[in-house]
Amino acid sequence: MPETLVKPKSKLRWLDYRWQLSNRARSAPALRQLIDLLETNGYGSHRFPAFKDEVFAEADRRFRFAVTPYYLSLSSGEAQCPIWRQILPDERETNDTLFTQMDPLAEESHMPVRGLTHRYPDRALWYVTHSCAVYCRFCMRKRKVSQSSSAPRQSDRQQALDYIRAHPEIQEVILSGGDPLLLPDHELADLLEELRRIPSLISIRIHTRIPVVLPMRVDRSLCKSLADFYPLTMVTHFNHAREITDLSRLAVERLRRSGIQVLNQSVLLKGINDSLAVQRELLLGLMGMGVQPYYLHALDEVQGVSHFKTDLRLGTEIIAGLRGTIPGHAIPRYMVDLTGGGGKVSLEPSSVIEETADALVFKNYQGRNFLRLKQES
C-alpha cells in the first residue's frame, strides 16, 4: 500500500479494479488520505468517525485492515454507518471474553488435506486464496484470511484435486477463501477446468464478496471466462441495502447474462442489519437486481466479533415478520452454523401453534389461527 495515494485522473481510473486494489487503505493514516482523496475528487463527503490509532495497531496484529476506495465511498457521516461498522477495527476485538475460539466451526479438524474442508459427505469447501479486497471485521475465517502464511501453495492445490478425484461421493465443490475472484482470470479458469474434468462433480459454487466491495472486478473478460464453465453458482454477500449500487447491479447483470446463478448470504449483525425494516429493504433490493436471497446466518462465534452478536432468536422473528409482506422467494433461510463443527442447521419460525390427535392449528402471517385436519375424510 503506497503511503502517497495515486489520484484517479478520470472516471475510467475509478472503474479500474487494479487501481482500486492498489489504492486500498491498510492503516489509519492511509485511511485518512483515502478519505481526503474521495472528497477532493467528488466521491462524497465522509466524516471520519472517532477512533484510536492504537486500536488499529493492535487489531492489525490479529487481523489486517483493508478497504477499497469504492467501498469506502459508500459510507456516510452517520454515527452508526453500516459501512463503517463493517470495516473499522474495534477495541472490543482484542478484549472478547464471550467468543474465545479462532476456529469455532472446526474447519481445520475436517481437513483431510491442507485447505480442503470435507465436513458433509457430498460436498467440500476449497480454500483457494487468503486475500480479500476488503477485510470484514466479523470474518469467521480471520485466523487465516489476510495471513500470508495461509496462502495456498501449488502442492496444496494438487493434493486437493487429487483428494476430490479419489472421493466420488463429493458432488459439489465450493471455492472460498479469502475471495476466489481476486485470483487472476487464467488461474481461476485453470481451477475450474480441473474441477470440470472430475465426473462425480455436478455443482461448483464460488463464494465471493467482490460484487459488493469491488464490483468493477466483474468485467467482461472475467464473465467470458466463467461462461465457459456453465453451470456455475456464485454466492455473494450483501449485508445492507446501501451496498446495492449501479456498479453492483452491473456486476450482477454481467454474471447473470453469462449464465451464472447468483445467490446471496448475509450475516445478522448488531447495529447494521438487525431489524425487520433493514432486512426487508435489503431483500427487495436483491430481488430487484437479480440476486436470489439464500441464507441469513447467525453470527459465527469467532474470537473478537461478539460485539456484533444479536439474540439467536432475532433472526427467527425477522423471518416471521417477512412472511406475507414480501414475495416468498425473497425470504432467505435463517441458519446457525453450530460451534464445535456440527454444521449448519435451520432455525426458522413454525406456523404450527397447536397439534391434536386429528388436527393442526396454524397461525398465518396476519396472526390469525386456522385449523386443518390431518386426514381429510
Give catalytic residue positions: 119-120, 123, 132, 136, 139, 141, 300, 337, 344
Distance in angstroms (rounded) separating the CA atoms of residues 166 and 113: 12
The torsion angles phi and psi of 176, rounded to 5 degrees, stand at: -140, -165
Identify whether the C-beta of residue 194 lies closer than 8 Å to the C-beta of residue 164.
Answer: no
Distance in angstroms (rounded) separating the CA atoms of residues 9 and 80: 32
Helices (H) and strands (E) in the chain, counts: 13, 12
Amino acid identity for residue 191 in this structure: L
Distance in angstroms (rounded) separating the CA atoms of residues 203 and 196: 9
Helix axes 220-227, 185-196, angle to 10 degrees: 10
Distance in angstroms (rounded) separating the CA atoms of residues 287 and 203: 23
Which residue from 22, 45, 20, 23 is spatially nearest to 33, judged by alpha carbons?
A: 23
Distance in angstroms (rounded) separating the CA atoms of residues 350 and 371: 15
Identify whether the C-beta of residue 267 lies closer than 8 Å to the C-beta of residue 299.
Answer: yes
Identify whether the C-beta of residue 360 lies closer than 8 Å to the C-beta of residue 321.
Answer: no
Cell numbers representing residue 119 in the block: 465436513
Q: What would the DSSP string read from start to end of 185-226?
A: HHHHHHHHHHHHT-TT--EEEEE--HHHH-GGGS-HHHHHHH
Q: How does DSSP classify residue 5?
A: P
Which residue from 218, 240, 217 is spatially nearest to 75, judged by alpha carbons?
A: 240
Alpha helices (H) along the chain: 11-14, 17-22, 28-40, 53-62, 69-72, 82-87, 154-166, 185-196, 210-213, 220-227, 246-257, 276-288, 314-322
